[in-house]
């Protein structure tokens, strides 16, 4: 039995990367909210939903609500080139009402119709990557390196108009920058992440400039060249580019990789999908629930407040363990069981909830479904063929390497 503060351990103990689920149960046993000296945490689906949706909780930045002059001065002091995906004006770091304006302008580009229109292109990308592997003739490959990490990059590159020659660099910088999502980062990792963010910011400035001069049909070109009076400024545009880049591929790669491993471990579920391919979208919901690619997020109470009978004080940070809420037995029967036919699988909080609900949820669902279905339809006997290697991250849950034989 482990001792000590379970919240601190869930934030920082790398030995929990592979399996944080017993620790989540310790937190659950303590009641709807576990309060510790450092911060509070919850794995309750009801509490998580309430915290994420309540206007009394925020992401803590709040700079979006400052008057423009103060913002300008602040952003200079804070060195705008060093601003990462968790700093304002990134959507993730801004509270309503400023968040609402920003989100409205961007979400026009993420409608269900525009996502559905990408179906054929995503299928082409998936087939193309598998053709490339088949031409190489190898019967064993790393499915994360060759497929899961490449597909989302190409999709996001299309969305942001990133030329092909830049995609390899963008992948490396994006990977490094994503470390900034981790709650506790060593100094060396921090320096690497910060360097990557600076490169990306400078690169995005130039890229947006190029798109203004010679726009394509991509989302970023449309946002950069709109003549709407209410449009994103340069800072907001590059922050959006940075966020969509990180949010878009650092998470989806994990959805695909986690899906391959779970389906390999549960061959009966794969058999069921073969008999009933219409279950594929639900299988993706179940991967998102059972192995949530984003395991946690953070909110602060902006006032004294009571949540599900638990009093919290103004300023109290609350870690919302999405991965733990997604295994709450009050909502999911036998939550530890991986069941692609689970009726309420999509009640998960893997895409968060409330104002910051994932903007790319529809796209991620479509990518996950196409990627996994295309892979297993082409290679029904695909098997994990060696030791897998997990990513060394606590917020993001996924694999660095998954060797497979086809
Ligand atoms: C926000 C998860 C894919 C763009 C979020 C949040 C989560 C999440 C948990 C909210 C964090 C919070 O509440 O603090 C995921 C997962 C994905 C995925 C699990 C894949 C499996 C994508 C994709 C895109 C995207 C493909 C874009 C193309 C965004 C953006 C936000 C966001 C822009 C910020 C929304 C806001 O603050 O208003 N995502 N995401 N995500 N996601 Fe995703």
Residue 344 lies in a domain: yes
C-alpha closest to that of 125 among 167, 153, 145: 153
Q: Does some domain include residue 288?
A: yes
Average pLDDT over residues 54-69: 65
Distance (Å) from CA 89 to ligand 1 centroid: 16
Per-residue model confidence as pLDDT tens digits over 121-155: 999 999 999 999 999 999 999 999 999 999 999 99
What share of the chain in percent tops pLDDT 70? 95
In a domain, residue 15? The reply is: yes
Question: Are the C-beta atoms of residues 318 and 32 closer than 8 Å to each other?
Answer: no
Question: Is 90 exceeded by the pLDDT of residue 281?
Answer: yes
The answer to the question of residue 253 being in a domain is: yes
Nearest CA to ligand 1 atom 41: 360
pLDDT per residue over 7-29, tens digit each?
989 998 889 999 999 999 999 99
Mean pLDDT of 83-87: 79
Separation of 360 CA from ligand 1 center, angstroms? 6
| 265 contact partners, CB below 8 Å, separation of at least 6 | 338
Query: What single string gives the DSSP state of each residue in 62-109?
Result: -GGGS-HHHHHHHHHHT-GGG--TTSTTSGGG--TTHHHHHHHHHHGG
Best probe residue, ligand 1, of 105, 258, 259, 360 (max atoms within 8 Å of C-beta)? 360
Q: Are 125 and 155 in contact (CB under 8 A)?
A: yes
Residue among 358, 369, 391 whose CB has most ligand 1 atoms within 8 A, to mutate? 358
Q: How far is the centre of ligand 1, averaged over its atoms, from the C-alpha of 58 (Å)? A: 16
Please enumerate, as own/partner, the contacts of 98-104 that have beta carbons within 8 Å and a separation of 24 or more.
98/64, 98/65, 99/64, 99/355, 99/356, 100/355, 101/230, 102/64, 102/232, 102/236, 103/355, 103/359
How confident is the model at residue 70, as a pLDDT?
53
The ligand 1 atom at the shortest distance from the C-alpha of residue 349 is: 9
99 Cα nearest atom in ligand 1: 38
Cα 358 to averaged position of ligand 1 atoms, centre (Å):
4
Distance 80 CA to ligand 1 centre (A): 22
State pLDDT tens for residues 290-331: 999 999 999 999 999 999 999 999 989 999 999 999 999 999
Tokens 């030995």 locate to 15
What span, in angstroms and rounded, lies between the C-alpha atoms of 56 and 314?
9
Question: For the chain, how many structural domains are there in total?
Answer: 1
Give a yes or no: residue 156 inside a domain.
yes
The residue count of the chain comes to: 406
Measured from the Cα of 255, ligand 1's closest atom is 21
Q: Grade residue 63 by pLDDT with cuts at 50, 70 and 90.
A: very low
68 has a pLDDT exceeding 70: no
Confidence (pLDDT) at 64: 40
What pLDDT, on a 0 to 100 scale, did the predictor assign at position 57? 95
pLDDT exceeds cutoff 90 at 65: no
- For ligand 1, residues with CB inside 6 Å are 91-92, 103, 156, 243-244, 247-248, 251-252, 255, 293-294, 297, 350-352, 356, 358-360, 363-364
**Average pLDDT over the chain, rounded to an integer:** 91
User: Could you tell me the two tokens for 163?
Assistant: 């030329």
Name the pLDDT band for 1 (thresholds 50, 70, 90). very low
Q: Decide if 107 is inside a domain.
A: yes
- CA of 37 relative to ligand 1 center, distance in Å: 30
For position 74, what pLDDT does the model report? 58
- Per residue in 96-111, pLDDT tens? 988 998 899 889 878 8
Residue 156 alpha carbon, nearest atom of ligand 1: 28
Exposure of 67 in the CB half-sphere (CA atoms within 13 A): 2
Which residue is listed with tokens 């726009």? 215
Burial category of 60 from C-beta neighbours within 10 Å (exposed 0-12, middle 13-18, buried 19 and up): middle
CA of 177 to the centre of ligand 1 (A): 15
Backbone CA torsion sign across 105, 106, 107, 109: positive
Q: Is the pLDDT of residue 210 over 80?
A: yes
Three-class SS state of 117: coil
Between 218 and 375, name the one with better pLDDT. 375
Closest ligand 1 atom to Cα of 249: 26
Most confidently predicted of 2-11, 56-65, 98-107: 98-107
Region 328-353: mean pLDDT is 98
254 Cα nearest atom in ligand 1: 21
Q: What is the CATH number of the domain that holds 208?
A: 1.10.630.10
Q: Has residue 136 been placed in a domain? A: yes
Confidence of residue 78 (pLDDT cuts 50, 70, 90): low
Instruction: From 187, 389, 151, 391, select the one nearest 295 (Cα to Cα).
Output: 391
Q: Is residue 1 assigned to a domain? A: no
Q: What is the pLDDT of residues 240-270, one digit of tens each?
A: 999 998 888 789 999 999 999 999 999 999 9
pTM exceeds cut of 0.90: yes
The domain in which residue 107 lies consists of 6-405
Q: Which of 281, 267, 254 is nearest to 383 (CA)?
A: 267
Report the separation in Å between the CA atom of 42 and the middle of ligand 1, taken as the mean of its atom positions. 20
Q: What is the ipTM of this complex?
A: 0.98
């Amino acid at each position: 039995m482990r001792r000590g503060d379970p919240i601190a351990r869930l934030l920082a103990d790398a030995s929990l990367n592979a399996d944080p689920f017993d620790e989540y149960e310790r937190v659950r046993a303590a009641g709807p909210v576990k309060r510790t000296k450092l911060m509070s945490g919850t794995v309750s689906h009801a509490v998580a939903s309430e915290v994420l949706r309540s206007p009394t909780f925020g992401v803590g930045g709040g700079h979006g609500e400052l008057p423009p002059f103060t913002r300008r001065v602040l952003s200079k002091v804070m060195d705008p080139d060093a601003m990462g995906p968790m700093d304002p004006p990134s959507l993730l770091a801004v509270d309503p009402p400023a968040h609402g304006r920003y989100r409205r302008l961007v979400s026009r580009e993420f409608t269900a119709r525009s996502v559905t229109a990408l179906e054929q292109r995503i299928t082409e990308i998936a087939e193309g990557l598998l053709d490339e592997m088949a031409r190489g003739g190898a019967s064993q490959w790393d499915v994360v390196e060759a497929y899961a990490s490449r597909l989302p990059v190409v999709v996001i590159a299309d969305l942001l108009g990133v030329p092909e020659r830049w995609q390899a660099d963008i992948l490396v910088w994006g990977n490094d920058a994503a470390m900034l999502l981790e709650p506790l980062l060593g100094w060396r990792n921090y320096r690497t992440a910060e360097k990557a963010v600076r490169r990306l910011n400078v690169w995005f400035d130039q890229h947006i400039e190029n798109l203004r001069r010679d726009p394509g049909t991509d989302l970023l070109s449309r946002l950069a060249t709109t003549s709407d009076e209410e449009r994103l400024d340069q800072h907001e545009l590059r922050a959006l580019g940075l966020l969509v880049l990180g949010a878009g591929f650092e998470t989806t790669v994990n959805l695909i990789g986690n899906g391959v491993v779970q389906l390999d471990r549960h061959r009966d579920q794969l058999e069921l999908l073969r008999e009933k391919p219409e279950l594929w979208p639900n299988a993706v919901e179940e991967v998102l629930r059972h192995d949530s690619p984003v395991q946690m997020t953070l909110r602060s109470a902006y006032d004294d407040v009571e949540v599900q009978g638990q009093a919290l004080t103004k300023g109290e940070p609350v870690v919302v363990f999405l991965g733990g809420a997604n295994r709450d037995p009050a909502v999911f029967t036998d939550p530890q069981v991986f069941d692609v036919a689970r009726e309420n699988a999509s009640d998960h909080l893997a895409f968060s909830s409330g104002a910051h609900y994932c903007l790319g949820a529809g796209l991620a669902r479509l990518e996950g479904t196409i990627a996994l279905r295309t892979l297993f339809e082409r290679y029904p006997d695909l098997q994990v063929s060696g030791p897998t290697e997990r990513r060394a991250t606590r917020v993001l849950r996924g694999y660095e390497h998954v060797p497979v034989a086809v």
